[in-house]
Structure 1
Amino acid sequence: MHTALVCSGGLDSVSLAHVLASQGRLSRIVSFDYGQRHRKELDFARACALRLGVPFHLVDLSGLGAALSGSALTDDLAVPDGHYAEETMRVTVVPNRNAIMLTMAFGIAAANGDSAVAAAVHGGDHFIYPDCRPGFTDAFAAMQRAALEGYADVVLDVPFVHRTKADIVTAGAAAGTPFAQTWSCYKGGARHCGRCGTCVERREAFHLARVADPTEYDDADFWQAAVAAHAVGGA
């Protein structure tokens, strides 16, 4: 099965790239510039494609962020600190982001004769992002079957949709993922901040997976307080 992977350059998608490559299934990497403030992640996606020897497609949707306003990822809004599964993190939603990107990726896959499009959405995303939930991925897969009926047979592969971030770290480690060559932080600074939701989730995932975290953080210990605060708040 030839699989086109939607890859941000983050831990999840780069890990999935290495998993697919280890299975001989990765055919190309597709990334998107949608005007995200942390667009440095795209350098990591490009490096992943080069490392794994597959074509890299960078789709310019740079005007999208301005059109889909109101997100801290695209507007001049502060990225909040704290645990990912907090109400404050909803400001990082870019409406319909995955629906738009996956639609483009399916077109690229169909045009190049691929049989699948993969995305690394996972259970930890469900609280905040509606277009990472199983209800969305199931419906999107059905829509694409109709959209390409009679032209191409391309399926949606979301192997982590019911799994945790720690599970992804475990799978990525088994496939030899160079975790230091991934970028998660939404603030897009010189180093991972260690305080935003995606940094906290990343740090916690390595801890739960019992895998050494090679990431350099500006605040490497903040995650513990954030996790503890979330546990109290959710009790």
Structure 2
Amino acid sequence: MKTVIVYSGGLDSTVLLYHLRDAGHELHALSIDYGQRHRCELDRAAAICAELGIPQPMADLSAIQPLLAGSSLTSPEIEVAEGHYTEESMKSTVVPNRNMIFLAIATGHALSIKAGQIAYAAHSGDHAIYPDCRNEFADAMATAIELADWEQVKLSRPFVDWTKADIVRRGAELGVPFEKTWSCYKGGEVHCGRCGTCIERREAFDLAKVEDPTLYADDAPKLETLRAHSWRL
């Protein structure tokens, strides 16, 4: 099946890329620049797609950044909070309506190239903090997408009931080059190791019992320290 995958270059979407490739899908990896602070993820996405020989159309939506203000990912004056996603402060990383925008663009691209499916890597750990990763949202979007054109496009979210650790285990089975993926919302030279997405990434490797090849900042706290402060999955 020809499938458009919403692809950021992050751990989850990269495992999804390999997962669908292993299943024999003809993939088109749609990456989106929405003016995000951690735009370096797109460079990782481009490198991985080039290595795999997967087409990677890029949508430049950076001009809409001011319209999505109020998130630490789109408003430079708002600092990226540290701590786990369960912390109230991590709501500052929610980009208003991001997945609806992404899925709408992916649907248009899928229809233009006659792809029968679009896919994104929402997983169960996202549900508590990101409203647009909930099953209810995805179900509603799936219905809308099927009604958007005379040709039907399906919405696939195979990881929706998986934990982050499940995704890491699957990635290890598929030989995903985790060290080439990017998660950190601060967008520095290396992963900070202390923002919500870094902590989630570190604990997922630990729970999956898979070696974490990620390069973290020298001052990143040890996992034991994070757990002592109740920053855990």
Regarding TM over 0.5, the answer is yes
Q: Is the 8 A contact 2:145 2:152 kept in 1?
A: no
* Equivalent in the alignment of 1:82: 83
1:60 corresponds to which letter in structure 2? D
Secondary structure of residue in 2 paired with 1:4: strand
Q: Which amino acid aligns with 2:208?
A: A
1:106-145, aligned counterparts within 5 Å?
A: 106-145=107-146
Shift in Å at residue 37 of structure 1?
0.7
CA deviation map 1:132-158 (0-9, x unaligned) = 11010010000111112x2x2211110
In structure 2, runs of 5+ residues without a counterpart are none
Distance in 1 of aligned mates of 2:30 and 2:125: 22
Instruction: Please name the residue that 1:212 is paired with.
Output: 211
Does the C-alpha gap of structure 1 residues 231 and 171 become closer, same or farther in structure 2, counting only changes over 3 Å? same
**Following superposition of structure 1 onto structure 2, how do residues 180-195 of structure 1 map, counting pairs within 5 Å?**
180-195=179-194
How many residue pairs were aligned? Answer: 231
Deviation at 1:231, TM superposition (A): 6.6
Instruction: Report what 2:57 is aligned to.
Output: 57
Q: Tell me, what secondary structure is at the counterpart of 2:230?
A: helix
On the 8 A contact 2:169/2:210 being kept in 1, the answer is: yes
Contact preservation (8 Å) 2:84, 2:231: no
Once the two structures are superposed, the pairs formed by residues 128-207 of structure 1 within 5 Å of their partners are: 128-148=129-149, 150=150, 152-207=151-206
SS at match of 1:230: coil
Residues 231 and 216 (structure 1), Cα distance of their counterparts in 2 relative to 1, 3 Å cut: closer
Amino acid at match of 1:161: V
CA contact (8 A) 2:83 2:231 kept: no
- Structure 1: 5+ residue stretches without partners: none
> 1:221 offset after TM fit, Å?
3.6
User: Structure 1 residues 200 and 223 mapped into 2: Cα distance closer, same or farther (>3 Å)?
Assistant: farther
Deviation at 1:222, TM superposition (A): 4.0
SS in 1 for 2:78: coil
| 3-state SS, counterpart of residue 56 of structure 1 | coil
* Partner AA of 1:190 in structure 2: E
**Secondary structure, counterpart of 1:21 in structure 2:** helix
CA distance in 2, matches of 1:54, 1:41: 17
Runs (4+) off by over 4 Å: none
Using structure 2 for the length normalisation, give the TM-score: 0.95
For residues 3-28 of structure 1, the C-alpha deviation after alignment (integer angstroms, 9 at most, x for no partner) is 11101110000111011111111421
